[in-house]
Amino acid sequence: MHVSLSCGMCGTEHAVDQLQNLCTQCHKPLLAHYDLEALRSRFTPDVVRARTIRSMWRFWEVLPVDDPSDAVSLGEGMTPLLGCHRRGPFEAFENLFIKDESFNPTGSFKARGMSAAVTRAKALGVSTVALPSAGNAAGAATYYSRRAGMKCSLFMPDDTPPANIIESKVGGADVYLVNGLISDCGKLVKQGCGRFGWFDLSTLKEPFRIEGKKTMGYELAFDMADAAGTSQLQLPDVILYPTGGGTGLIGMWKAFDEMEQLGWIGPERPRMVVVQAENCSPIVKAFEAGEEHAPLFENAATVAAGLRVPIAVGDFLMIRALKESGGTAVSVSDEALMDGVRELAEHQGVYACPEGGAVWIAARKLLDSGWIKPEERVVLFNTGTGLKYNHLFDASGLPALDHTDPACLDSIA
Ligand SMILES: Cc1ncc(COP(=O)(O)O)c(C=O)c1O
């Protein structure tokens, strides 16, 4: 295996040919490393462009396989980067884009991480994976583990969106609903892994979910080059990311470093923005207070289920990325983020998840405060489909038409 693993905090090396969770020394996340120097001559943007692989596995040299045909794949990645039309509240942004992750299998960016993690777990002979989930990770874990012929045990808060619970059940996972938050679910998973021998697939406790998610960063560099009509890879000025556990943000930050070491981009970086819900914003609070770690956010509550993460094991990695990039952290109320979903639908034709609604509202706030300039190239991450959150909207009271009545259209103005 052309990958090595070491702790993101203390640097201790861990064997990659064995199942790993957190660092055995300091209990922080392990990060994967590749011999990027050796890859420079044969892994180039042109090589990637010429490939016929239509998934994130076209970047397989920086993913945990020695041969791309070993990947457990459902066609994840290669999502569109949509240029935003300058309409209504979007008028003021000259270069606004949406990276629309709702196109992934199971409808969210979680597919990328699960594809990588399940691929590695399968290679190491795992028969049952287990994880806590706010919803979308559960759906993705269900279908990737099925694809790999594994069993899957899921622990979700009992107020998880019904669509996520149903898709996991239909996919044959063992689903447990817990009267608590994702952090409470995580504790049960840990106990269950000890008792039943499951492999813990929790985000950032398992070292390869982040590797799958980092491909968002690789893709973005190609997308931005295409949008600019050039072959030279480039990154935007600002990236807004809806942050729960933070794996996507940390993954992209890692991808940019790797791309620089590969000689694909220079030292320039986007300013990274963590977006959280007002009533669950541990990273925003810690960042504003200048702390390196974010303590448990008490009484966390938000309709944006993916943002309901009151404590994150990768907190220091997120805060590090914010500081290094000159970024910031913004919180958005539930009311505002639901308005964001409506505005994206009405003006851009995108049915975003509430997490995506939140990043759009955060972008507006930052434009209003002058932190974002109108001409800057700004990318919003819509991390999942609004279809999973239909329960948050009301479609009752619509006019009912009797097609047998020839006058039935008369009442329509
Ligand atoms: C739709 C959606 N957006 C964002 C997140 C947060 O992702 P991350 O763990 O990368 O911060 C989640 C996590 O559940 C999610 O489901």
Residue 230 falls inside a structural domain = yes
Q: Distance of alpha carbon 2 from its chain centroid, rounded? A: 25
Which residue's CA is the nearest one to ligand 1's atom 15?
306
Q: What's the confidence (pLDDT) of residue 1? A: 78
| pLDDT tens, position by position, 141-176 | 999 999 999 999 999 999 999 999 999 999 999 999
Nearest by Cα to 304 from 239, 363, 240, 391: 391
Measured at the CA of 307, the angle between CA 304 and CA 308, to 5 degrees, comes to 90
Which residue from 222, 189, 220 is spatially nearest to 203, judged by alpha carbons? Answer: 189
Is residue 399, in this structure, part of any structural domain at all?
no
Top-confidence residue, 1 or 341:
341
Tell me the CA–centroid distance for residue 229 and ligand 1, in Å: 31
Q: Which domain holds residue 219?
A: 81-107+208-392
pLDDT at 16: 95
Q: How far apart are CA 80 and CA 95, in angstroms?
A: 16
Nearest-angstrom CA–CA distance, 344 and 383: 13
Q: How far apart are CA 85 and CA 152, in angstroms?
A: 42
Q: Which residue, by CA, sits nearest to atom 7 of ligand 1?
A: 244
pLDDT surpasses 90 at 411: no
**If you take atom 6 of ligand 1, which residue's CA is the nearest one?**
244
In a domain, 2, yes or no: no
Write the pLDDT tens digit of every residue in 199-233.
Answer: 999 988 999 999 999 999 999 999 999 999 999 99
Of the candidates 292, 365, 377, 374, the one whose C-alpha atom is nearest the C-alpha of residue 331 is: 365
Q: What's the distance, Cα to Cα, between the start and end of the chain in Å?
A: 66
Residues with CB under 6 A from ligand 1: 108, 134-137, 203, 242-248, 306, 353, 355, 383-384
pLDDT at position 68 = 97
User: How far, in Å, CA of 212 to CA of 111, rounded?
Assistant: 8
- Candidate of 110, 183, 341 to mutate for ligand 1, largest count of ligand atoms within 8 Å of Cβ: 110
The answer to whether position 350 is within a domain reads: yes
Q: Do the domain assignments include residue 317?
A: yes
Count CA atoms closer than 13 A to 357's CA, side-chain side. 29
Closest residue CA from atom 14 of ligand 1? 306
CA of 192 to the centre of ligand 1 (A): 24
Please give the structure tokens belonging to residue 96: 């606004």
Residue 412 has pLDDT above 90, yes or no: no
What CATH number does the domain containing 336 carry?
Answer: 3.40.50.1100
User: Is residue 194 predicted with pLDDT exceeding 90?
Assistant: yes
- Is residue 53 in some structural domain? no
Write out the DSSP string of 242-273: E-SS-HHHHHHHHHHHHHHHTTSS-S--PEEE
Average per-residue pLDDT for the chain: 96
Q: Name the domain count of the chain.
A: 1
Among the residues of 3-96, which ranges form H helices? 36-39, 45-49
For the full predicted model, state whether its pTM sits above 0.85: yes
Indicate whether 368 belongs to any domain: yes
Looking at the domain assignment, is residue 155 inside a domain? no
Instruction: Establish how many alpha carbons lie within 13 A of residue 192's alpha carbon, considering only the half-sphere containing its beta carbon.
Output: 22
Class of residue 122 by CB neighbours under 10 A (exposed 0-12, middle 13-18, buried 19+): buried
**Counting atoms of ligand 1 from 1, which one is nearest the CA of 203?**
9
Interval 266-297: pLDDT, tens: 999 999 999 999 999 999 999 999 999 999 99
Kindly report the three-state secondary structure assignment for every residue of 194-220. HHHCCEECCECCECCHHHHHHHHHHHH
